[in-house]
Structure 1
Amino acid sequence: MPAVRNVLVVGGGAAGAAAAILLAEGGVAVDLIDLKPDVSALGSGITLQGNALRVLRQLGVWDQVRAEGYAFDTLGLRAPDPAGTLIAELTDIRTGGVDLPATMGMYRPALAKILIKRAGDAGVNVRFGTRPASLSQDGDAVTVGFSDGTTGTYDLVIGADGLRSWTRRAIGIDAEPQPVGMGIWRTFTRRPASVTRTDLFYGGPAYIAGYCPTGEDSIYAYLVEGVQDRAGLSPEEALATMRELSQAYHGPWDEIRETLTDPSRVNYTAFESHVIDGPWHRGRVVVIGDAAHSCPPTLAQGAAQALEDASVLAELLLRDAAVTEELWAEFTGRRLNRATEVVEASLQLTRWLLAHERGDVPGLMGRIAHLVEQPA
């Protein structure tokens, strides 16, 4: 018998949906709430490394993800010169196993829809447009009041509600994300035939210029700059700013730039980071994913670490007969150091770039790949 009979999951992103699916499949009654009005997700594209694909296969959605996304096994490094010269082509480690691609690019809302549909098919009660308004614990029960005036009592509450997590604050964990000094322009556009993997340009007016194929006809492209207040720009001004910043990058970027015509496809986000340094639970409430740890996307491990959190937590809750301190100690032992190492490596890359220091980028990437190829 599982350690819990009924669970509330707050947040319908990758971590929340994954935890809900696995627990429901294991016989637990699961409610999942999300403050958004529907399944659509912010952002343009997402890069999924092999260890993320391993969990998606565990969730039973790998065939759909493979059909929607774009898989590749190499990473290109290019120079910010007039030809966009290819400097190196690196073979990525297949961190999810030899039978899965090293990397998959995907349209983020497509992944969200796949996961939420899978949750519904598994029996999860999904409620959009709903947020928690109050939370109290009494022994082995957690009572939650919702924004629609209803209440529910649960054996466990899982906060997978992102960087600005309501759940994290509600249980008194003081670990707010902090800026790291960089911001990223992203766009979602047509895929030129020449783009068949991620290439990274280091140097020039941006710290990083890159792109990732997300489907047969689509890519997302991005430019990382020193963080600025871009909030006052109109959509048209944002598009013009991204196009101007991209002028220094060539090769496939020349084709990509010609497709950048839709202001609604451009967004800007400042990089932030944090890790809860210690147990991620208080009583019968636990936070996972971006609520527990976040990092700049320099290693493309954000979604992977969130999915690993969900997989390990569900494994322990379905394996054990009760929620004990031993269960929480094992969860902390399996997740805290691993997530912290990934976050620190992601931050090290940003520190090298901000200092214009030539660090061992391939070596750092290889070290993290070898870490995460072992299941969490």
Structure 2
Amino acid sequence: MPAVRNVLVVGGGAAGAAAAILLAEGGVAVDLVDAKPDVAALGSGITLQGNALRVLRELDVWDQVRAEGYAFDTLGLRAPDPAGTLLAELTDLRTGGPDLPATLGMYRPALARILLERAGEAGATVRFGTRPEALVQEGDAVTVTFNDHTTRRYDLVVGADGLRSWTRRAIGIDAEPGPVGMGIWRTFTRRPESITRTDLFYGGPAYIAGYCPTGPDSVYAYLVEGVRDRSGLSPAQTLATMRELSGAYHGPWDELREQLTDPSRVNYTAFESHVLDGPWHRGRAVVIGDAAHSCPPTLAQGAAQALEDASVLAELLLRDDAVTEDLWSEFTARRLPRATEVVEASLQLCRWLLDHERGDVPGLMARISHLVAEPA
């Protein structure tokens, strides 16, 4: 018998949907609430490493993800010169195992749809436009009041509600993400035939210029710069700024730039990062995913670490017959050191770039790849 009978999951992103799927499949009554009005999510593309794909297979969505995404096993390094010269082609470690690709790119809203539909199929009750407004812990139960004035009692609350987590604050964890010093321009457009994997350009006016195929006909492209306040730009200025910044990059970027015509397909985000240094639970409430840790996307491990959180948490709750300190100690031991190492490595890459320091980037990437190749 599971350690919990009913659970509230706050947040319908990767971590929340994964936790809902696994717990509902294990016989737990799950309510998943998300403040957004529907499954449509803002965003462009997402890069999923093999260890993320391993969890997606556990969730029984791998066939759908593979059909809608774009898988590849190599990484290209290119020069910021007039030809976009290919400097190296590296074979990535298949961190999810030999039967899964090293990397898969995907349209982020498509992944959200697949996961939330799967949560509903597994038996979770999914409610959009719903958010908690009060949370009171009473012994082995948590009473939650929602914005529709309804109140329910749960054995456990799982806060998977992102960087600005309401749950994290509600349970008294005083930690917020901090600035990294970089910002990223992103766009989502038609995939040129020449793009069949991620290529990274280091140098030029941006710290990193890159792209990732996200489906048979789509691609996600990005430029990382020193963080600036871009909030005052009009849509036309936003588009013009990304086009101008991309002008130093060639090869496939020349085709991408020709397609940069729609301001609604361009967005800018500042990098932030944090990791909760200690247990991620308080009583019968726990935070996972970006609510517990976040890292800049320099290692493309954000979604993977969130999915791993959900997998480990669900495993322990379905394995044990009670929520005990031993359960929480094991969860902390299995997730905190691993997530901390990934976050710190992602930040180290940022520091090398910001300081114009030639660090051992291949060595760092190899170390993290070998770390996450071991199941969480």
Q: TM-score, structure 2 length as denominator?
A: 1.00
> Equivalents in 2 of 1:46, 1:40: separation in Å?
15
Tell me, which stretches of 5 or more residues in structure 2 are unaligned?
none
Q: In the TM superposition, what is the alpha-carbon distance from 1:324 to its structure 2 partner?
A: 0.1
Give the aligned residue type for 1:63: D
1:4 counterpart = 2:4 = yes
Aligned residue number for residue 47 of structure 1: 47
Partner of residue 140, structure 2:
140
In the other structure, the counterpart of 1:280 is 280
Q: How far apart are 1:236 and its partner, in Å?
A: 1.1
2:225 alignment counterpart: 225
In structure 1, what residue type is equivalent to 2:104?
A: M
SS at match of 1:298: helix
The Cα of 1:40 is off from its aligned counterpart by 1.1
CA deviation map 1:330-357 (0-9, x unaligned): 0000000000000000000000000011
What per-residue deviation string (whole Å, max 9, x for no partner) do you get for residues 129-173 of structure 1? Answer: 000000000000000000000011000000000000000000110
| Displacement after TM superposition at 1:175 (Å) | 1.2
> Could you tell me which residue of structure 2 aligns to residue 202 of structure 1?
202
> What does residue 236 of structure 2 align with?
236
Encode CA deviations 1:194-225: one digit per residue, 9 max, x unaligned. Answer: 00000000000000000000001100000000
Q: Distance in 1 between matches of 2:99 and 2:18?
A: 21
Shift of 1:42: 1.8
1:109 and 2:114 aligned: no
TM-superposed deviation, 1:41: 1.4
Letter in 2 for 1:90: L
SS at match of 2:244: helix
For structure 1, list consecutive stretches of 5 or more residues without a partner in the other structure.
Answer: none
Aligned counterparts of 2:316 and 2:291: Cα–Cα separation in 1:
20
User: Which SS does the other structure have where 1:196 is aligned?
Assistant: coil
Counterpart of 2:374 in 1: which secondary structure?
coil
Distance in 1 between residues matched to 2:40 and 2:234, nearest whole Å: 23
Match of 2:78 in 1: 78
CA distance in 2, matches of 1:218, 1:187: 11
Q: How does 1:255-294 map to 2 (within 5 A)?
A: 255-294=255-294
* Cα distance in structure 2, aligned partners of 1:129 and 1:234: 29
CA offset at residue 366 of structure 1?
Answer: 0.5
Alignment match, 1:99: 99
Identify the residue that residue 330 of structure 1 maps to in structure 2: 330
Separation of aligned partners in 1, 2:42 and 2:286 = 24
TM-score normalised by the chain length of structure 1: 1.00
Counterpart for residue 122 of structure 1: 122
User: Once superposed, what is the RMSD of the aligned Cα atoms?
Assistant: 0.4
Q: Which amino acid aligns with 1:201?
A: F
Structure 1 residue 17 displacement after superposition: 0.2
> How far apart are the structure 2 equivalents of 1:234 and 1:165?
29
Q: CA deviation at 1:114?
A: 0.2
C-alpha offsets along residues 219-272 of structure 1, whole Å, 9 cap, x if unaligned? Answer: 000000000000011111100000000000001100110011111000000000
- 2:37 maps to what in 1? 37
CA distance in 1, matches of 2:73, 2:230: 35
Counterpart residue number, 2:352? 352
Amino acid of the structure 2 residue aligned with 1:360: D
Deviations 1:290-322 (A, max 9, x none): 000000000000000000000000000000000
> What CA distance in whole angstroms lies between the structure 2 residues aligned with 1:175 and 1:364?
27
The amino acid of 1:202's aligned partner reads Y
Q: Secondary structure at the match of 2:298?
A: coil
Identity %: 86
Q: Write the distance in 2 (CA, Å) between the matches of 1:330 and 1:148.
A: 36
Matches of 1:259 and 1:89 in 2, distance apart?
Answer: 26
Q: Does 1:158 align with 2:158?
A: yes
Structure 1 residue 43, shift from structure 2 partner = 1.1
What residue in structure 1 maps to residue 19 of structure 2? 19
CA deviations on 1:34-88 (whole Å, 9 max, x unpaired) are: 0000001121000000000000000000000000000000000111001101111
Distance, in Å, in 2 between the alignment partners of 1:216 and 1:123 is 32
SS state at 2:335 partner = helix
1:27 Cα deviation from its structure 2 partner: 0.2
Amino acid at match of 1:22: L
In structure 1, C-alpha distance between the alignment counterparts of 2:12 and 2:202, rounded to whole Å: 34
SS of 2:90's partner is strand
Matched to 1:144, the amino acid is V
